[in-house]
Amino acid sequence: MAQRKRQLVSDELSEAALQLLALKGFDAVTIDEIAATAGVSKRTFFRYFASKEDVVVQFLADMGTGIRTELAARPAEEPPSVALRHSVWVSMAACAAPPGHSDRALRVVQLILRTPALRARFLERQDQWRGDLAAELAQRLDLAPDTALYPQLAAGMALTAFDAVLQRWSGSDGVEDPAELIDRAFTTIAPALDAVPSESVGTGKGGNEASLSERRQPPGAGSR
């Protein structure tokens, strides 16, 4: 019960902050105003968030957890490009899909991308996501997490695509369709994402970089 109440207060603070920040801009909103809108004291605000920045970044930080959760749930036989595209899209859609949230989500994304302090915090979070996604990819593909390059590279490519989509969606003021942008971005990087090296856990071999696509070629396919 106590945990549920704590989550409800946190959600109310986040909702109040995001509405105010999206409407008035980051610098124009005070913590006192956020607390008053949520119906709590300033002291209560600081029990949940260290700053205004933390409230805003949390809006997208939850997406990092969502991306990894979605990736873990994808079928094992699915190509990495398909699994990652789906995981990124589901997480992005979740933040904007509820009724009335799409416009607010866009304003918050614009706020983050256009405010240097928030942009820096968002990039810090993306570094954390990269490690989480890399760990999930290594487990999914049976690659050595400490030695294989592929998981970090693939996670980095997926998050770069995600960032590029946010930039285009934000820059178009919501005119461009984020689903279409994600499809285009992942179509571009799919060949690299699906070139999974054959090195595996326990082999002790870090030099075998033959990709799965190469190994699937019929005999003599590469000779002329």
* pLDDT tens profile 107-159: 888 888 888 888 888 888 889 999 999 999 999 999 988 889 999 999 999 99
At 66, which amino acid appears?
G
pLDDT at position 24: 87
* 210 or 94, which is more confident: 94
Integer Cα distance of 72 and 83 in angstroms: 9
* 96 or 85, which is more confident: 85
pLDDT of 187 higher than 60: yes
pLDDT at position 217: 47
Burial level of 141, CB count in 10 A (0-12/13-18/19+)? buried
pTM of the model: 0.78
What does the block give as tokens for 115?
Answer: 């405010």
How does pLDDT run across 23-82, given as a tens digit for each residue?
Answer: 888 889 999 999 999 999 999 999 999 988 888 877 777 778 889 999 999 999 999 999
pLDDT of 213 higher than 70: no
Integer Cα distance of 187 and 196 in angstroms: 16
What is the crossing angle of helices 2-24 and 52-73, to 10°? 110
pLDDT of 184 higher than 90: yes
Integer Cα distance of 105 and 180 in angstroms: 17
Residue 152 and residue 130 in contact, taking contact as beta carbons nearer than 8 Å = yes
pLDDT of 215 higher than 60: no
Contact residues for 206 (Cβ-Cβ < 8 A; gap 6+): 144, 147, 148, 199
Integer Cα distance of 146 and 54 in angstroms: 31
Average pLDDT value for residue range 191-202: 75
pLDDT at position 205: 36
pLDDT at position 168: 94
